[in-house]
Chains A and B, each alone.
Chain A
């Protein structure tokens, strides 16, 4: 069956999203050469377009691409004359008789790219490049860094993998739980950069979607890991609110004021279901997902089950003391027990190092003070929050809060929100 050019292009784009990691990973496994694997994967996708237009989209695009990439690898290795190339060539040829593609290729790739001996920023860049198939330009754009910086990071990571002999495999069961944590942290980091960029635009959905895709991969290929499921649930629930988080004026809308009909209910359903199944194991991602699920299940902000949310935060804090979680718990306590309880809970936190310079601390304090009617102090705290807001959208939100208190500096008369969309920073 032949396809029109548009269909072929769509099929190829889908194959790129779904199969890049498999194609790339297979060549890495066979030859141990990351440079070669990248060239060959690239070449296979380039050749696919004319071939598929001519012969139709293959039934198993992944297998077609792996075969094309492998042939290319053998060609390149034949032209090289070193002994190592000969050995690699034999390995690549022998694989002709193996069933392929190997199921856990991408999992192996994710674990190698997220190896803890690599610098964190290299892990992120390498994972997006090798597993997600993003170009260095796309990665640079997403992280607002130079293309040169990204290629340097990837190059350095590939060099270290080769020089220090970082193995290409999924760790043995004993070490797996430990390493999985690092993998999930990298995926979460990628998501957060898409969900709440450190600067510039308010969201970058493509990056958030890539993180969700990676989380799906890990969940599907490591089904016995409740924390992987917990992370996926958390990401789906946060991503389900993307349309409602940005108002008509392009500003961030807090959870309390979001139009819940604009949430992506398919993602909410999937996320809540996953969160339920992960919750029994009670790991940190599963518990955060359970908090997000509580918000998702509340028909209105006012009907949120704050009692359960406070309990979930208590369980999170019992796992590991974390000032960001403690701050979010203070907000939940405030919603359950009123503004004085919120103020007490914030002041109880003291000034932990990890919260130094965090705009949410004065903001949560300001919110409690405003609700207590201590408006001058509230304004003071909002000004402090505004001064250290990480991006323009958040700074404008605080300007609005100040305006609602009758402070000058904004023409927006929208009522003040109570809380920031706080679940995203529970890392």
Chain B
């Protein structure tokens, strides 16, 4: 195990927060929002299907990594199609090249060997736990982003937005959330945009049950969103179609974050990361998906403009994949993974976490990267340092969880 070059936040935390004082003075904390008209924003990107974190942030010094993955490993930096060096222990998947400027600017960090304390390898349970923030308890019906919302000053109708067809568990709960479908459908005109139709249906949905409230919320949000996207609708045919699938939806998200709708919290999911077969290495199916995601995120940070200063973007997945490849040049369901954290105020250019190593005795159940950072600890650091939550509020977002480690992410 090589821990020498690895940032151990346990001992360095104090030093880092001292260093951070300089930037903190420039930073308007959350409670000053009213006066400064700035507010911290949070975007959570969920990669559903369990992305292979070991090929996202590659532990290129580990011989065990190359032994376990004869065909899917990413070559060392300097070799053809090798990893892009992050530090002298880790490298980035070459398909994520678009993110390197952010890394170099100190606006991108990773937390490796991060994940859930619950060992399930069921996608569906693991995603639920990641979204509720209460691993092991299946009866929870609300998500931690929704509980976060309950601890922020009430904002406009579009304070929290999900991009996608349904509200995911992470944003479900007592706080109302707006949904905006993917792609062009989001802004296409509907019958409900006609005044007489609206008036008639408004009368039908006057009640205060869940359905009526959802209708009322949907009507208000639609009015706000259509106002925001009016110009986009008119310009839609002029702009060349984006080569990147993720980019157009992330661009729309940027517009909601920067425009009049004042969206503060958002989530978006991208699927298809379940690589049991023909995963590829520097090139191939996983590389293609990573490339469009990386370019999409890079465009999102650009489109956010100065708002990126107030924004944190978290990219996470339900669990990692096996260290060893399976019989089909793919990987099966594993455990530890890597969390990505981007933002204007992020203390970047760091790979946080306690690296457990990949030698057989260091693996979890002999097959997976061990989890050394509870994903809730990483998020808790963001919520307190970036979103301005106090410990009481944090306890409401992650009930029953006591933070073990604080990461100096900001």
Chain B binds chain A: no
Which residues from chain B sit less than 8 Å from chain A, CB to CB?
A: none
